[in-house]
Structure 1
Amino acid sequence: MHGANYRDGAGQVFTRKEYIKGKPQIKIAKFQGGKRGTYQYCVQLLLNEKIQIRHMAIESTRLAANKTLEKTTGESGYYSRLRIYPHNLLRENKQIATAGADRVSEGMRRSWGKAVSLGARVKQGQCIMELYVNGEAHLEAAKKALHGSCVKLPGTPLIKVVEWNKLSP
């Protein structure tokens, strides 16, 4: 199974997990990281396409951004927040490829599939992740961290800087 198979969010979203036995666990460890506080800048990671992102890609993006930024600013020099949650169940109809599989397998007949992963549907221009930092040096480090981490996402990303709180001199 490849992530490219689930990139387009076609069809109805299936989110009723209470009816499913053996539903997949979410791979995202934390949705917020760093230290909460008053920060000067908010650096946002946006996507320019309507797309579906698997939870493993979201987690690897978060890890890459946080590790890169933590090296420069320290643990208390930033605050990060994920803005999306993978609600959608992604299913796969696995095919049997052994001898005699044509007598055992149903093929595409009644192909409902098993729940194998979770995904989040993202609209065009929606914010995926935010990093809050202080100072110009940390702002450049946050841009660099998001630029390095957006390689792990499908689609074309956009990094946007928002001046958040003006610190008095």
Structure 2
Amino acid sequence: MKGSNYRVARGMPYARREYVHGSPQPKVSKFTVGNPRGDYDFRLALVSKERAQIRHNALEAARVAANKTIETIGEGNYYLVVKVYPHVILRENKMIATAGADRLQEGMRRAFGKPVGLAARVDHGTTLLEIYVKRDNLELAKRALNVASSKLPVETEIEISEVKPAQAS
């Protein structure tokens, strides 16, 4: 099946892993990369502009692309966070597609299917990725989020906000 078959969120999300045998693990290997305790000036967020499901391999591709772009400044100079978690279990009713098949198999109507992957359901305005950087690396972080957005199946925008230092009381 193609990823576009799972992009639209139809029906209730199927997320109860304890009832699914053979449920796959998420492909996102790290949800946080970099230095979480740095003194950063800016927070850049990649925000979804539409409602959709994002498969776990697309999230991992976006994380890897953003990390590869921004890691040139050194791992201690940024903090990258994947903000969504793929909970929804995707199922597929696999059809027979052998060499001798001259007719299409119809199969059962509304069959349940076997788990084939995971997805994260996002709404309009959901933050997908965040990067924290210093002022000098702002343009590189924007480029990293642009590269990451090309790996995702939704339209996105980049929101930039200044990080306020915590004031001692």
Q: Normalised by the size of structure 2, how large is the TM-score?
A: 0.90
Q: Which runs of 4+ in 1 moved over 4 A?
A: 99-102
Structure 1's 97 and 34: CA in aligned 2 closer, same or farther, altered over 3 A?
same
Which residue type is aligned with residue 147 of structure 1? N
Question: How many residues are aligned here?
Answer: 163
CA distance in 2, matches of 1:96, 1:123: 35
Which residue type is aligned with residue 113 of structure 1? G
CA distance in 2, matches of 1:166, 1:33: 21
Aligned to 1:56: 57
CA distance in 2, matches of 1:74, 1:14: 40
CA distance in 2, matches of 1:78, 1:59: 18
Matches within 5 A, 1:3-18: 3-18=3-18
Gaps of 5+ in 2: none
- Corresponding residue SS for 1:27: coil
Aligned to 1:134: 134
CA distance in 2, matches of 1:124, 1:20: 29
Offset at residue 149 of structure 1 (A):
1.4
- Corresponding residue SS for 1:149: helix
Structure 1's 110 and 10: CA in aligned 2 closer, same or farther, altered over 3 A?
closer
Which residue type is aligned with residue 138 of structure 1? N
CA distance in 2, matches of 1:108, 1:101: 19
Gaps of 5+ in 1: none
Offset at residue 17 of structure 1 (A):
0.9
Aligned to 2:66: 65
Percent identity of equivalent pairs: 45
Aligned to 2:42: 41
Structure 1's 110 and 8: CA in aligned 2 closer, same or farther, altered over 3 A?
closer
Aligned to 1:164: 163
Q: Normalised by the size of structure 1, how large is the TM-score?
A: 0.90
Offset at residue 109 of structure 1 (A):
3.1
Offset at residue 166 of structure 1 (A):
5.2
Aligned to 2:113: 113
Aligned to 2:153: 154
